[in-house]
Amino acid sequence: MRITVVGVGADGWAGLSGAARSAVEAAEVLIGGARQLDLVPGSRAVKVTWPSPLLPRLDALFAEHRGRRICVLASGDPLLSGIGTTLSRRFDDVEILPALSSPTLARARLKWSAESTEVISVVGRSPCRVNRALAPGARLLVLSEDATTPAVLAAQLTDAGYGPSRFTVLEELGGPAERQVTGVAESWDHPPGAALNLVAIECETKGEPLPRTGLPDHAFEHDGQLTKRDVRAITLARLGPLPGMLLWDVGAGSGSVAIEWSRAHPDNRAIAIERDPDRAARITRNAQRLGVPELRVVVGEAPDALDGLPAPDAVFVGGGVTSGVLDACLHAPKVVANGVTLETEAVLAAAYARHGGDLLRLAVEHAAPLGGFTGWTPARTVTQWSFTR
């Protein structure tokens, strides 16, 4: 079954290329959102709007029209957070005919280079995703969910200490109703405009900026159950996050390792397993504030709570290390476990003797006042076992 996906800009039919027009005209079935279908002039094709919910009904929709010439109408570039990506993964014979995307048009209006701009979609997703990318001087283009998104983002940036950021809302890009509204996040008071918009942010902070990784301990809300910054850095170095990988953080505490893993790349995923409901709620708050709201939190005790979870690329065990928990994790390509008690140290030493890997003792001391002088204050020594299959 051949599916042609045509990107349609806000200028509608007039902005389509010759090839795109031919695909639309030749179609027996046109599938798209109501807005895209309305942009196409009279057609003899059957017009079908997307079902809701979309994904569970997608296969049945295309099976119903098998053997007919199908053209899917999408917004702008169908491969930019669009239906083109979904269809290309699902079906073998998909042709993409893109229009200019809204980020491309926005960069042209603002004269921002592609390499200096990060694009983030909050369409159907939490706007907290933007917090991960906040950094002094960063240029962000945020694809909005609707007309309320700009005000939500302005308040969010202000709470994160980025209130001085320059804020531009670009509406109906490429269409006759195109409009720009510019201001500053902390004083943003413009009423909602067009639902089809994106937000351009030039980041400026009056506080201490947070690094992408190597977060200070005070960045996390916690009750003392926290993998501290220096040990966390060594732990993540052993885990070795790569784009798209999934981490289990078992006995997650405040979620610091899972959060930093997720912040390392926007495609990274993590599941935090925590038996204490209060700590689990705290992990969710930390993840939202630090820009990784997709982090999944499972309330339960390992190893039982691990049943049915997607297979991980790496596992970190930071709390409740027992031989049973380790055994339940050893199918993963990489496992790292930390402990501070004699009982945990014995479990890790036994795992090292049985499976090999690396066994380390990490001792960190910080300089602190000692009377009228300065002395070293040691933190608890951490025993760490890491194993790569």
CA atoms within 13 A on the CB side of 27: 29
For residue 385, the cross-strand partners are 337, 359
Distances (CA, A) of 17 to 23, 94, 97, 98: 10, 18, 9, 9
Task: With beta carbons less than 8 A apart as the criterion, state whether 99 and 9 touch.
Answer: yes
The pLDDT, as a whole number, for residue 6 is 96
Cα 6–Cα 9–Cα 14 angle in degrees, nearest 5 = 90
pLDDT, averaged across the chain: 95
Please count the other Cβ atoms lying within 10 Å of the Cβ belonging to residue 219.
Answer: 18
Which fold, 103-202? Answer: 3.30.950
CATH number of 217-388: 3.40.50.150
Residues 6+ away with beta carbon under 8 Å from 270: 246, 247, 248, 249, 258, 259, 261, 262, 292, 295, 296
The pLDDT, as a whole number, for residue 1 is 76
The pLDDT, as a whole number, for residue 333 is 97
d(CA 249, CA 218) in angstroms, rounded, equals 20
Amino acid at 264: A
Helices 229-239 and 256-263, packing angle to 10 deg: 60
Cα Rg of the chain, angstroms: 25
Model pTM?
A: 0.90
d(CA 235, CA 248) in angstroms, rounded, equals 13
Burial degree of 275 (CB within 10 A; 0-12, 13-18, 19+): middle
d(CA 322, CA 216) in angstroms, rounded, equals 29
Computed from CA positions of residues 119, 296, 145, 162, in that sequence, does the dihedral angle turn out positive or negative?
negative
In this structure, which long-range contacts are made by residues 274-279, counting pairs with CB atoms below 8 Å and at least 24 apart in sequence? 274/298, 274/299, 274/319, 275/251, 275/299, 275/300, 275/301, 275/302, 275/305, 275/320, 278/223, 279/223, 279/225, 279/252, 279/253, 279/254
Per domain, the residue ranges of the chain are: 2-99, 103-202, 217-388
The pLDDT, as a whole number, for residue 109 is 97
The pLDDT, as a whole number, for residue 36 is 86
pLDDT in tens, 184-224: 999 999 999 999 999 999 999 988 999 999 999 999 999 98
Q: Does domain 2-99 have CATH number 3.40.1010.10?
A: yes
Amino acid at 137: G
- Domain 2-99 and domain 217-388 have a common topology: no
Burial degree of 220 (CB within 10 A; 0-12, 13-18, 19+): buried
- Please list the ranges in the chain whose pLDDT falls under 70: none
